[in-house]
A and B are shown apart, each in its own frame.
Chain A
């Protein structure tokens, strides 16, 4: 068991190194200085949901925790009035 743990740790990449191709350092929300995330802005919200309709984790999108909370709320509102899907396929 102890050996397995060390193995896992070794496989982890060093901090700060890019591990996946999808990672973005700065999200559109920060870059365009969007203060109010509007649930009607379908184009913006769409860039934060995955192919299957799920909300992307912020480790992949690079938004801050505060932005993610607002984003989640906006996406859920948009889903409620059929601007975004709950699921796809």
Chain B
């Protein structure tokens, strides 16, 4: 199973009805194809870092999807044909998250200051102590 993050920005003048309609459409598409929505993040209205078309702000939504890929293709198509969606981005996250989890587990396992990072920390602490003494 793969995990994805689909982000899209709706135009600031979008009606709440249209937005919730799109959300339920996405839900439907994903469910129909055997995927699962694990989380929906609503950032609401936010200032854009740069102008898109004639808009200075947008309504941000992030949808976290678990699935195989087909549902993503359909969701993306849906976003592209929806007029009030001014920008969208899909990111596959399972591989990076797995890597991050592995690193975290590894760090927990090695308590002794065998790796270089820990040595660095120790050096810094020593320096701080020295400074205090002075």
Q: For the complex, is A80 an interface residue (Cβ under 8 Å from B)?
A: yes
Q: Is the CB of A86 within 8 A of B50?
A: yes
Selected contact of A82 from candidates B50, B91, B104, CB within 8 Å: B50
Q: A82 and B124 in contact (CB under 8 A), knowing A35-B100, A40-B62, A77-B91? A: no
Contact-residue size bin, chain A (C-beta under 8 Å from the other chain): 10 to 19
Q: Is the CB of B99 within 8 A of A35?
A: yes
**B contacts with A, residue count (CB < 8 A):** 24
Q: Is the CB of B50 within 8 A of A85?
A: yes
CA A33 – CA B103 in complex, angstroms?
10
Q: Is the CB of A80 within 8 A of B49?
A: no
Q: Is the CB of A26 within 8 A of B124?
A: yes
CA A83 – CA B8 in complex, angstroms?
12
**Given A36-B99, A79-B49, A85-B49, 11 additional A-B pairs, CB 8 A:** A35-B101, A39-B91, A70-B96, A80-B87, A81-B7, A81-B9, A82-B48, A82-B50, A82-B58, A85-B50, A86-B50
Q: Which residues of B come within 8 Å of A, CB atoms? A: 7, 9, 48-50, 52, 58, 60, 62, 87-89, 91, 96-97, 99-101, 103-104, 107, 117, 120, 124
A-B contacts, 23 of them at CB < 8 A, read A30-B117, A33-B104, A35-B100, A35-B101, A35-B103, A36-B97, A36-B99, A40-B62, A77-B89, A77-B91, A79-B49, A80-B89, A81-B7, A81-B9, A81-B89, A82-B50, A82-B52, A82-B58, A82-B87, A83-B49, A85-B49, A85-B50, A86-B50
Q: Closest 10 CB pairs between A and B?
A: A35-B100, A36-B100, A82-B48, A85-B49, A35-B103, A81-B89, A82-B49, A84-B49, A85-B50, A81-B7
